[in-house]
Amino acid sequence: MPFELPDLPYAYDALEPFLGEQTMRLHHDKHHQGYVDSLNAAEEKAEKARESGDFSSIRAISDAMAFNYSGHLFHSLFWTCMSPDGGGQPSGALADRINTDFGDFESFKAQFLAASNDVQGSGWGVLAWQPLGNKLVILQAEKHQNLSQWGAQPILVLDVWEHAYYLDYQNERKRFTAAFFDVVDWASVAGRFEECV
């Protein structure tokens, strides 16, 4: 089964003024679709390599699979991390866990924004469940897959590639990441958290 582009869970203009319709159309229909297409192409190349027994391109195939799968996974999550009814703070078990692992919500938010703002080049800010330590961790992912932790389960992701915000915020990544907290869908994040623990 080839991978498929999921629909946005809301209209293209639903997150305005945080993100404009044109940004969302380009980001979802062009960029995310591109990762899905390239992932399917890489899987096809792997299948051909197995059939022919010629694995001379395996490194490029593995690289394409890691990059495009991670891009597809993060974008699929990113759309569901936001809602026109989002913002505020999490409640329940997720709120308790954030307080335990980061001190309080404001300290978590400060670290998440610092991590997102300081990603070198293109990448992501990520809140993830780390099963070995039994705790939440904040990660920076360069591109989609560098600096990741194997097995960590991302529950909140923030796309800080320029294509995510350039039309609306130009080069002001910090204004974009700060406004992200006005649309975070904490119910969706908490649902993923509760599946982890």
CA distances to 18, 50, 82, 102, 169 from 185, rounded to whole Å, are: 14, 42, 5, 20, 21
Stretch of 43-51, 127-135, 142-150, 160-168 lying at the interface with Mn ion (CB under 5 A): 160-168
Q: Does residue 168 bind Mn ion (CB under 5 A)?
A: no
First CA to last CA distance, the chain: 30
- Helix, strand, or coil (residue 56): coil
Site track for Mn ion across 102-141, x = CB under 5 A: ----------------------------------------
Which residues, at least 6 apart from 163, have a Cβ–Cβ distance to it below 8 Å?
Answer: 26, 27, 31
Kindly report the number of other CB atoms within 10 A of residue 192's CB atom.
Answer: 18
Q: Does residue 161 bind Mn ion (CB under 5 A)?
A: yes
Stretch of 79-87, 103-111, 124-132, 164-172 lying at the interface with Mn ion (CB under 5 A): 164-172
Q: Does residue 79 bind Mn ion (CB under 5 A)?
A: no
Residue with smaller CB distance to Mn ion, 90 or 123: 123
**Binding residues vs Mn ion (CB under 5 A):** 159, 161, 164
